[in-house]
Every structure is written in structure tokens, then in C-alpha cells.
Amino acid sequence: MTPSYLQPAALCAGVDTRTQFNKPIIGLTCVLALCGLTLSSMVNAKTVQVSSPDSHIYISLTDDNGRPEYQVQFNGNTVINPSKLGLEFQQLGEFGSEFTIKNVTRNSVNQIWQLPWGERENIRDHYNSIVATLSNGKLEFDIEFKAFNDGIGFRYVVPKQAGLTSTPKLDITDELTEFVIPNPQQTTAWWIPGRGWNRYEYLYRTTTLDKIDRAHTPMTFRTADGVHMSIHEAALTDYAAMVLNQGRDGTLRADLTPWSDGIRVKTQPGFSTPWRTIQIANDAPGLLNSDLILNLNEPNKLGDVSWVQPGKYVGIWWGMHLNENTWGSGTNTAQPPAKPNATWTLQHNMALMAY
């Protein structure tokens, strides 16, 4: 089912929805005037789509509103409403508003690669992709989308270009990425607070999605229709970690952890951001068995990793999440003297001890 916002002609009674708006049309100006639309915005607006190999997931990227926005469908239902995309730089201002789609390239990949260590040796990398180049007439950047059978990933790429020759460094002051979730009051979320004042790790909370303020990723949720989804990131290198900040109910926005001076990311032309990932499945096991993030991470650069061996460790993390142990003092404290704990670890052939 094609979303209504992909049918611009349907906004006007009597306009053929098969009309190609980038071709001359007799009387088009009058029709658009009656609909309260400007000729230039409709002539130049573009919408492109890419689907997963099994066609269950559809991504739509549009510049209909004078800026890039995306939408995601799963099994014919919208799971991500139209959501804004973009970056903001201290030196250049916003890369988003007034940037429109200049051209699009497509690709499909279906290959098997070997995981150096993990639950499975062979991983299938199977996706369809688009790379959309956006321009404001002076500067350009790319948004790359990959559609897998188990979700999607997208990232920004700012290539070296003539317009940036006098700008050797780029300071990102904000990332404008949104994830707009339908029906947040009927959506169940499992999450932990992000960037708390006293520590990084908190216990998981189960609430409706509209109760989230700022959440760490991965942030997992189940829609009213039973679709299971998880928002996270992949290939996080030389970039700030992302948490999700909720403004209006259901509108989650990327919130990058800043440097002490307030700058979010310090980089230079020719960079790419981490992948923003959305895993999508009919049930929770589908999320657990997803290889999407593995496929979006960079390949192994260590070479021979045969020296890596599996091992058991002693720690208190599960005890904390089950409320059986605590770091604090008292009867449930999980901080016994190091020497007895180390002795017990060796006696039971444990390789590691984590505090």
C-alpha cells in the first residue's frame, strides 16, 4: 500500500495521480494554485523507495517538505511515521532544510561472510540499498539506506568537495535524526535512562513509549499490533554515542553525547556517521536472531583472531538486574574481599573475574 504522502497529486481533486511532476503539464499551474501549493516545490519534490529483499519492509525517502524525511513500513503498516533527517554544523549551519534530492544510486548485495567469533560462524549479508545525494546548490551530502529482511540502517556521509576546501574541520553541534513512532500510548517500551547525573547504568524500565524522557540504546519496543522493534547504532567510530530524547509523544530524536565545550562531534570533510539501526520483527526471538548490526559493523581488521578463546567469568551483573545484589553496602552487597573471590574463581576454573 502506497502511503498517502507518496501521492502528491491526490492532494488535488481532478489531478491524475499518474502525472509526472517533472514534465511540462498544460494547466498544472492553475491546478496547483487551487490546491494552495507552489509550482516550484511540486516540480522539484522527489520521493524514492527501497524495499527489503523479501519485500516486507519499505523505506521511503522524500524531500517534499523542502528537507529530507523518511518513513518505514512493515507488512503494509507504517511503523515509523515521516521523520526528519539532517546534521547541524558550527561552521556551515544545517544540512537538512533546503537540501533536496539531486540523484540516487541503487545496489543489491547477497553474500556470506565469516564471523571471527560469536554465535554463528557464517553470516548472510542480504540487502537492497540506495544512496541519495542531497544538495542546496552549494554543498552536498549523502544519506545511505540499507533495507534488510530484519530491519534497516541509514547513515550520513559528507564527502570532500570544492565547497569545503576552505573548511578543514567540521564541528557537529546537533544531529537532527528523528524516529517518530505511531501510537506511543499503546506501545510498550523496555529502556534505561540515558546520561543520568550519577551513573551510566540503570535498571531497565517497562513503560508505554510516551513515558520515555531520555533513553540509552538499544531501546526496544512492541507496537500495539505486536511488531517488535529496536533502535540502536552500528559502526560507532570517532563519533559521539547516541541516546534518544523524546519531545512530543512518540517523537524520539538522536541526542549526541557532547564534549566539555558543547560540540557533539569534531571531524573533517570526508566523514561518515555511524549507522542508525532499526531492527524489525514479528516477535522478540526475531530481534534476538537478527544479524543486522553485525552486517553494518566494519569488517574484522585484526587479521588472525585464532588466539581469542571463550571463557567463563565471575560477576554480579545478573544479580543486580534481578535485584539480588547491589554495589551499595548492606546485606545484599556484592563486593566481597578480592582475595577469597579470586581463590573461588581459580578453584572453579573460571578464566575471568569482573568487578
Q: What is the mean pLDDT of the chain?
A: 85
> What confidence category does residue 190 fall into, taking pLDDT thresholds of 50, 70 and 90?
very high
- pLDDT (tens digit per residue) in 226-268: 999 999 999 999 999 999 999 899 999 999 999 999 999 999 9
d(CA 288, CA 100) in angstroms, rounded, equals 37
Residue 347 DSSP code = H
Hey, is 298 helix, strand or coil? coil
Higher pLDDT among residues 123 and 6, named by residue: 123
Write out the DSSP string of 333-344.
B----HHHHHHH
- pLDDT (tens digit per residue) in 195-206: 888 778 788 999
pTM of the model: 0.82
Closest C-alpha to 78, from 54, 66, 60, 62: 60
Sketch the domain layout of the chain as residue ranges: 1-45, 47-296, 313-353
For 95, the enclosing helix (H) or strand (E) is strand 93-95
Segment 150-154 shows an average pLDDT of: 98
The reported pLDDT for the residue numbered 355 is: 61
Closest C-alpha to 264, from 174, 185, 335: 174
% of the chain at pLDDT higher than 90: 66
- How far from 45 is each of 2, 48, 61, 154, CA to CA, in Å? 17, 10, 11, 21
CATH code of domain 47-296: 2.70.98.10
Sign of CA dihedral 312, 313, 317, 319: positive
Q: The C-alpha cell of 105 is what? A: 544510486
Q: Are 151 and 280 in contact (CB under 8 A)?
A: yes
Question: Phi then psi for 69, rounded to 5 degrees?
Answer: -140, 155
The reported pLDDT for the residue numbered 8 is: 34
> What confidence category does residue 312 fall into, taking pLDDT thresholds of 50, 70 and 90?
confident
Segment 335-350 shows an average pLDDT of: 71
- Cis check: omega of the bond before 269, within 30 degrees of 0: no
Does the pLDDT value for residue 2 go beyond 80? no
Does the pLDDT value for residue 269 go beyond 90? yes
Sign of CA dihedral 236, 239, 242, 248: negative
d(CA 193, CA 218) in angstroms, rounded, equals 11
182-186, 213-217, 308-312: which has the minimum mean pLDDT?
308-312
